[in-house]
Chain A
Amino acid sequence: MGKVTMTVNGRARSAEVEGRTLLSSFLRDGLELTGTHVGCDTSQCGACVVLVNGQAVKSCTAFAADLDGAEVTTVEGMANPDGSLGRIQQAFQDYHGLQCGYCTPGMVMSTAALLAENPKPTEEEVRHYLEGNICRCTGYQNIVRAVMAASGQDVGALAAE
């Protein structure tokens, strides 16, 4: 056991953790941030993606103990300061980029990382970037539309390409 301190969604959080505690468990069980979902436990589905120092990370494959001093953002930290939906959240809602919603937090976080790197991605780039995020419900169409909308691009043109 060791003490780890990180900034989660802007707040400093400390806890005693075992060396093998995964970041996903640290967030879900320790901090009760259950928006970070666990779909596969093994780094394959992307439901558990969070931002660590601005980078998209699969939290089921990162150890909390390794992240002392890190800045972590989860889906719960994506709203605007006044509590209204953030740009990406708003787009996923408006463009029906979700059905069961289990993949949604990971999709939102991966989108945040993508748009930070590449503010105006092409559809092809979006689809490629999201390869690490599985969605079994939507067929991805509305997810891609939501990402394009969140980047301020014209969504109407998508279907015709």
Chain B
Amino acid sequence: MKDEGRITGAAHDSVIHDSAIKHVTGRAEYTDDITEPVGCLHAYIGTATVAKGRVTALDLSAVRAAPGVVAVLTEEDIPGHNDISPTGLNDEPIFTRDVQFHGQPLFAVVAESRDMARRACTLAKVSYDRADHATDIDAAEAAGYPDVTAPLTLARGDAARALAKAQHRIQGRMRVGGQDHMYLEGQIALAIPGEDDEMTVFASTQHPSEAQHMVAHALGVPANAVVVNVRRMGGGFGGKETQMNLFCTVAALAARATGRAVKLRPDRDQDMEITGKRHDFRIDYDLGFDDSGRILAVDGLFAARCGWSADLSGPVTDRALFHADNAYFYPDVRLRSRPIQTNTVSNTAFRGFGGPQGLIAAERMIEEIAYKLGRDPLEVRRANFYREGADVTPYHQQVTDNILTRLVDELEVSSDYQARRKKVLDFNAKGGVIRKGIALTPVKFGISFTATWYNQAGALLHVYSDGSIHLNHGGTEMGQGLFTKVAQVVAEAFQVDLSRIKITKTTTEKVPNTSATAASSGSDLNGMAALNAAEQIKARLVAFAAEKWGVAEDAVQFLPGRVAVGADIVPWDDFIKSAYMARVQLSAAGFYKTPEIHWDRAKGQGRPFYYYAYGAACSEVSIDTLTGETRVDRVDVLHDVGRSLNPALDLGQVEGAFVQGMGWLTSEELVWDDAGRLRTHAPSTYKIPLASDRPRIFNVALAEWSVNPERTIKRSKAVGEPPFMLPVSVFEAIGMAVASVADYRECPRLDAPATPERVLMAVERLRG
């Protein structure tokens, strides 16, 4: 029953995802579902089969002669610039003859069908002048490979001096694996040539504005000739932030060359072989602490496998440093990044954007201290949390909202951590084959793009004369529920039911110069921009009503489904109709930019983050010390999303991020062979979590008391990335189970992912 006193779908309500009905009926339209224009052709990309070298001969005659082939494109067929570097470094050609990784695009075939294009691709005869390649960090370092972009140093105090006089000092190394996005809908673009120099692209992209610029750049036309559209993606996770630039530009080049619509959809294997992934890291740490477990100094070097070009490796490795403190105060600190080039795919954004790789190093250091001093790691954590007087991060931003202690205290009680830890210790003391571990780990995650100019957004809102509302903004929908949340904000502003609002596809035609939907910022930025548009229209409506009814402006009130003007109550539709008749402008472009943030990269100082999101998880696991097999027995999560815009959707984000993070740390392993080929290029060899891999007990709660202290949209907090790091608790619990075989005398020093193989090797190593 509808409550007359309340609209349906207001902010903070758990309404269903706006596309839910379309999803369950199969009517939701993805790029591949769009009806193809008449004469639509299909493109496919031909790739290099060596990891490094020069193409000495590219014989495509058999390709051109293959059945159904309409055109073949190489670097000579690019009317504009042969570059899709997102940071303007000019280091990322679309097609090349200077091969830097196995799987690098050399040419594209355009044919009457996708099958024909794929088959024709295999007919190319390519000769190479091979060179030695380096696919991982160690090999690249040994071969003297350069950084792909300028490294960053964050420093405060004098780490070297403080380390030299610390009571305890531990040096260690940790390796953290990468991760494939494995979005269920692969990369895809459909380009349709228009009049003159125009090109319209439908693509599965998190960053339509960038795709627009890349396509314009490659075609040699101004941005105003290119339109990029996306209604929804079948998952993105960062993998469609820059990585679809390739597919958009190739489809557009093919459409330009043939004058016909062209669709490009790589198969899953090629998708995984061509596109960048989460960066794997090698972290060297030097840690000083005292007898009480307090950290005195940290010196860390974070080397990342960046792949052949910079892509987003600069900001990703920066963010690793920004999170290398997680929630802990380092009195004297130096953190350095080393974004090293390798002959692999160019690694890119992935949920957390380097943050998880930084954060896990902080947690490793906590483990080091706990094992060295024989203490519960949770005590060590507490001793090092940011607190008054010890509240400045390595990048000189002050942490003012210290809510982590409360969050962790509550979770400690609700998860019954102390009693269960004792049980785990007792269980392990019996010395069986199965060992258990338990860990409670926190997350503190900085919200904002570290590229300050990205923290802006636009929206376009129309109220039609029948009272229905059309909503558009620059954010993209990849399943996270962004469109639903922003529509809730608008419904709340106008006090109309959510069903009165039409949510429309993201298009560069309506809102220009948008930022990627990334850095968890989608609702923060676009919600505010949409609210700004709504407020503009409301202000005009108020002025109109005050004048027409002859009342003061504060006598005009938006009530559920109606407007009160003095003593009169006017139904919404009638009110809008009369505003239209009175020639009130019922459309507005909204804009928002995040206040207060600034960042000086050269100095390593500033306030890069508007606020922090927090969370904590307690995980209990069992391992089989004979096989290395791991089982997650129970997980309890308490996560902070401020005042949630939609608790149901936020819980879904937390659960999904947790399982995805668990995959990163336990089962997902990328393997390159000696020839530089990626061997894990399909779900058959690359193991993401399945329905049966989940925690046996999984209790997830939101910290309902939390309110964002900053003036964010309805005081909510970002939710996309922070919970991805909660499963560090699973990783550390596995470590504890492993450490039990040596009576916890030694820090287990597990590398990630803790696959059964690694767990087994660690058990063997500790047993000595």
Contact A136 B660 (CB under 8 A): yes
Q: State whether the Cβ of B652 lies closer than 8 Å to any Cβ in chain A.
A: yes
Contact B182 A136 (CB under 8 A): yes
Q: How far is the CB of A160 from chain B (nearest CB, A)?
A: 7
Interface residues of A in 15-53 (CB under 8 A from B): 28, 32-42, 44-45, 47
Q: How far is the CB of A95 from chain B (nearest CB, A)?
A: 9
Digitize A66-85: 1 where CB-to-B-CB distance is under 8 Å, 0 elsewhere.
Answer: 00000000111011000001
Contact A138 B25 (CB under 8 A): no
Interface residues of B in 50-91 (CB under 8 A from A): none
Interface size class of A (residues with CB under 8 A): 35 or more
Contact A101 B25 (CB under 8 A): no
Digitize B171-187: 1 where CB-to-A-CB distance is under 8 Å, 0 elsewhere.
Answer: 00000000001111110
Contact B479 A137 (CB under 8 A): yes
Interface residues of A in 107-131 (CB under 8 A from B): 108, 126-128, 130-131
Q: State whether the Cβ of B485 lies closer than 8 Å to any Cβ in chain A.
A: no
Q: State whether the Cβ of B451 lies closer than 8 Å to any Cβ in chain A.
A: no
Q: How far is the CB of A46 from chain B (nearest CB, A)?
A: 9
Query: Given A100-B478, A134-B683: A85 and B17 within 8 A (CB)?
Result: no
Compute how far the CA of A136 lies from the CA of B237 in the bound complex, rounded to whole angstroms. 9
Interface residues of A in 123-152 (CB under 8 A from B): 126-128, 130-131, 133-144
Q: State whether the Cβ of A161 lies closer than 8 Å to any Cβ in chain B.
A: yes
Contact A39 B26 (CB under 8 A): no
Q: Which residues of B contact A89 (CB under 8 A)?
A: 24-25
Q: Which of A40, A41, A96 touches B17 (beta carbons < 8 Å)? A: A96
Q: State whether the Cβ of A103 lies closer than 8 Å to any Cβ in chain B.
A: yes
Interface residues of B in 427-485 (CB under 8 A from A): 478-481
Q: State whether the Cβ of B765 lies closer than 8 Å to any Cβ in chain A.
A: no
Q: State whether the Cβ of A104 lies closer than 8 Å to any Cβ in chain B.
A: yes
Whose C-beta in chain A lies nearest to the C-beta of B652?
Answer: A96
Whose C-beta in chain A lies nearest to the C-beta of B646?
Answer: A96
Contact A136 B682 (CB under 8 A): no
Contact B690 A131 (CB under 8 A): yes
Contact A104 B24 (CB under 8 A): yes
Compute how far the CA of A44 lies from the CA of B182 in the bound complex, rounded to whole angstroms. 12
Compute how far the CA of A79 lies from the CA of B656 in the bound complex, rounded to whole angstroms. 27
Residue picked from A35, A127, A161, most chain B C-beta under 10 Å: A35
Q: State whether the Cβ of B675 lies closer than 8 Å to any Cβ in chain A.
A: no
Query: Given A39-B186, A100-B478, A103-B184: A137 and B697 within 8 A (CB)?
Result: no
Contact B684 A42 (CB under 8 A): yes
Digitize B569-606: 1 where CB-to-A-CB distance is under 8 Å, 0 elsewhere.
Answer: 00000000000000000000000000000000000000
Whose C-beta in chain A lies nearest to the C-beta of B659?
Answer: A139
Q: How far is the CB of A86 from chain B (nearest CB, A)?
A: 8
Compute how far the CA of A92 lies from the CA of B17 in the bound complex, rounded to whole angstroms. 11
Which 6 pairs of residues, A with B, have the shortest CB-CB distance?
A35-B26, A100-B479, A102-B234, A101-B23, A139-B659, A99-B479
29 pairs, A vs B, C-beta closer than 8 Å = A34-B29, A39-B184, A39-B185, A45-B268, A45-B683, A47-B184, A76-B25, A85-B25, A92-B20, A98-B24, A99-B479, A100-B184, A100-B235, A102-B184, A102-B479, A104-B23, A104-B24, A105-B23, A127-B691, A127-B692, A128-B692, A130-B690, A135-B691, A136-B237, A136-B688, A139-B657, A139-B659, A140-B694, A159-B697
